[in-house]
Chains A and B, each alone.
Chain A
Amino acid sequence: MWSEDTAAVIECRNLAKAYAPTGSTGQRFWQLLWGQAHRTVGRWALDGVSFQLGRGEVLGVVGCNGAGKSTLLQMLCGTLSPTAGDMVVRGRVAALLELGAGFNPDFTGRENATLNAALLGLTPEEVQRKLPDIVAFADIGAFIDEPVKTYSSGMFVRLAFAVATSVEPEILIIDEALSVGDGAFARKSFERIMDLKRGGATILFCSHSLYQVEALCERALWLNAGRMQAIGPAADVCAQYQAFLNGLAGLARGHTGAMDGMLPADASNASDPSGVHRQTVCAPAGGGRITGFTLRCAQQMGAEVTVRSGLDDVAVEISFVCDPALPCPVLALGISDQNGLTVSSALSLMDQAPLNRRPDGSGQATLVLQRLPLLKGRYSLTPFLLSEDGLHPYDQVLHAGHLRVTQDGPLQGVVSLPRRWL
């Protein structure tokens, strides 16, 4: 029934997974032992999932917490068995789920790397051949021969990532984080995943960051309560999912999903409460930081300005530093309303506005929002500093500034569209 000649590396048909109701594990044992079908089915974590994925395709999986994303990824890794349905996975799988979960704190980094690589399926000879690469990539110096318990969390995750990606996978399964560690390593790890992608690896990537899903994936799958809500071109699916999230945000005031969804929250090095001026003496190696954020409107200047809707221009000044060794970064600005709904955003890359960066790595850019078309309300501004291709976030300052928009007249909504009456 499986077409062996197709290019599909992953095929799923009506895949379903039910977790046994808690507390009846003993019952489950006897059922498995005597080969009885499940009489007691608990929660269906996943139901009726079917899709095919060809070599080199990148599929983004989106959905709320508990939608079944992790269950699907674990089944594809082969660690969970489906309750029903068929699944074929062709090729060596590497999973970036819970990095370093198998490390023993009392052993040195080198010992843990050797054993973990063996657990991932490398033969002893392959492990010996790859070990220098792993050590070089992790780049933790003499610590490689110290017990892992003496590592900082950054060093730990560096080593774990180096081991996990050393197996030259044909299929890569990533839960949430496209990059790990901080600064230079975050970019390096991101580059490695991109290299694998360019090398033809099939990638399944699950993320809350719709921005990254759209930027990286051709196709996306939206899971909702264990069922396939949509599958198709990433832009379409993300738009549908975003609309669904906005609906939720409208229901529950104070929900902050949308803006957090734009970029992974853990990418922010710090969310400064004041967010106006952050002192950084020099550019962080291999990364960048936002160092200043100021709003100007008429005579006002600061982190919050009052703007007359449709009349005033708002100037957003963002200063940054970025490792001069890296290509010039790009800036982005997200504008969200009080519910967390992303009202609009701007990306210097899209606007083809190259930034000016001084030789020491610092730079500044001003974005002017002409005759601000937002309607009355309070809006939050979040600046982002991203790699030159706009994919890898270096820094963000959540809600660095606020706009208090006033308006004349009773118009409702968030935005005043350019319009004419004929």
Chain B
Amino acid sequence: MADKTLQKRERGPDPAASPRSAGQTTVRAVLQALWPGRHWGLTLQLATRELAARFRGQGLGWAWLVLAPLLMLAVYTVVLTQVLGVRWGTAAAHSSGTDLEFALQLYAGLAVFAFFSEVVLRAPRLITNVPHLVKRVVFPLEILPWVSALAAMVTLVLAAALLLAGTAATRGQLPVSALALPLVWLPLLPLTLGLGWLLAAVGTYIRDVGEVLGLALGALLFLSPVFYDAASLPPALQLPLGLNPLAVVMTQTRQVVLVGQWPAWDVWAAVMLAGVMAALLGAAVFTRVRSGFADVV
């Protein structure tokens, strides 16, 4: 007789196509969860639909993709520089510290944070929002964080375009190091995906995660160098900031686009490694607990 918890399913002509075992997590299953593989078509379709759903039925539609970040940036810049009188960094940096310069520095951080929070904030409800996909069809649920990440990536690419265009407009030229921007942002992908899997898995069972996460992200906005230059912090605070992968990505973004320095590759590699570890951990937890989703959704 077979093990009491063994479940065998055979789909399609190939009997060994994808036997799914409940309560059994193999390395292969985790690796399969990491990459959409044959589900790429479905993933892209869902991501397109998610973006389209957001703008469907609105007067300005897709224009919001550009308008929203610009308006947000304008509000932050005006409030911070005019109302609170904040100046960027140690005033030593590039140009005098005009509002436009401040806006660019701010945007370099804000774009990174916006991508991160857009994916992570929705993760705890990723599974509970689609009960029909959990209960009614056999669906590769592990692609859902990819769907959020791809949809948010469209915003991120637009942010990059705005940042580069803004820099070129104020400075009259772009540094060559700006070419490294995609590489600098690359660790964000495994990091957010990993958190996406982890939070989706935990959030499905423990609904409080969503609440806590909102607070945590609010705090993270200020714990990351979005509104200030990391270099302007006292040395005692530099180390904890260095442990925040977002802080490293933001600082390197400013380096490659606004300062014209190539990133420190050892630091970049460390962040990338952290991101990959997060992805592996998230996918492992997700694969392990997914068999119970249908019972709790």
A residues lining the B interface (CB < 8 Å)? 1-2, 4, 19-20, 25-26, 28-29, 32-33, 35, 74, 77-93, 95, 97-98, 101-102, 104, 106-107, 111, 114-115, 118-121, 123-124
Contacts and interface: CB of A to CB of B under 8 A. Distances in A.
Nearest to B203: A29
B295 A19 contact: yes
Interface of B: 1-2, 4-12, 15, 20, 22-23, 41-42, 45-46, 49, 52-53, 56-57, 130-139, 201-202, 205-206, 285, 288-289, 291-292, 294-296
A169 to B, nearest CB: 12
23 contacts: A19-B295, A20-B295, A26-B205, A33-B288, A33-B289, A35-B23, A79-B135, A79-B136, A79-B137, A79-B138, A81-B22, A84-B4, A85-B4, A86-B2, A87-B8, A88-B9, A89-B10, A89-B11, A102-B136, A104-B49, A107-B53, A119-B139, A120-B137
B205 A102 contact: no
A77 B136 CA distance: 8
A197 B23 CA distance: 36
A26 B206 contact: yes
B136 A95 contact: yes
B130 to A, nearest CB: 8
A82 B206 contact: no
Contact of B285 (A33, A91, A119): A33
B266 to A, nearest CB: 34
Given A35-B23, A81-B291, A119-B133, A4 B15 contact: yes
A117 to B, nearest CB: 11
A25 B292 CA distance: 9
A84 B5 contact: yes
Contacts of A89: 9-11
A97 B134 CA distance: 13
A25 B1 contact: no
Contact of B22 (A2, A25, A82, A95): A82
Contacts of A82: 7, 22
A102 B288 CA distance: 26
Contacts of B46: 115
* Most A Cβ at <10 Å: residue of B53, B132, B136, B206: B136
Contacts of B288: 32-33, 35
Contacts of A97: 136
A298 to B, nearest CB: 57
Given A107-B52, A119-B42, 15 more contacts: A1-B1, A19-B295, A32-B289, A33-B288, A77-B138, A78-B9, A88-B9, A90-B15, A91-B11, A93-B11, A102-B136, A107-B53, A111-B49, A115-B45, A121-B138
A81 B5 CA distance: 10
* Most A Cβ at <10 Å: residue of B6, B131, B132: B132
Given A2-B8, A80-B294, A80-B295, A118 B136 contact: no
B7 to A, nearest CB: 6
Contacts of A29: 201-202, 205-206, 289, 292
Q: Closest 10 A-B residue pairs measured CB to CB?
A: A29-B205, A101-B132, A32-B289, A81-B22, A102-B132, A78-B138, A25-B296, A25-B205, A106-B56, A81-B291
Contacts of B5: 83-84
Given A25-B205, A26-B205, A118-B45, A87 B53 contact: no
A25 B136 contact: no
B31 to A, nearest CB: 19
Contacts of B1: 1
A32 B132 contact: no
Contacts of A95: 136-137
Given A28-B292, A87-B9, A1 B2 contact: yes
B6 A86 contact: yes
A340 to B, nearest CB: 33
Contact of A123 (B10, B41, B130): B41
A120 B1 CA distance: 33
A81 B294 contact: yes
Given A28-B296, A87-B7, A124 B132 contact: no
A28 B295 contact: yes
A259 B7 CA distance: 40
Contact of A88 (B8, B42, B45): B8
Nearest to B131: A101
Contacts of B23: 32, 35
A151 to B, nearest CB: 16
Contacts of A111: 49
A19 B202 CA distance: 19
A106 to B, nearest CB: 5
Contacts of A80: 135, 294-295
Contacts of A123: 41
A121 B201 CA distance: 24
Contacts of B41: 118, 123-124
Contacts of A32: 23, 288-289, 291-292
Nearest to B57: A106
Nearest to A34: B288
Given A26-B206, A28-B205, A106-B53, A74 B295 contact: no
A77 B11 CA distance: 11
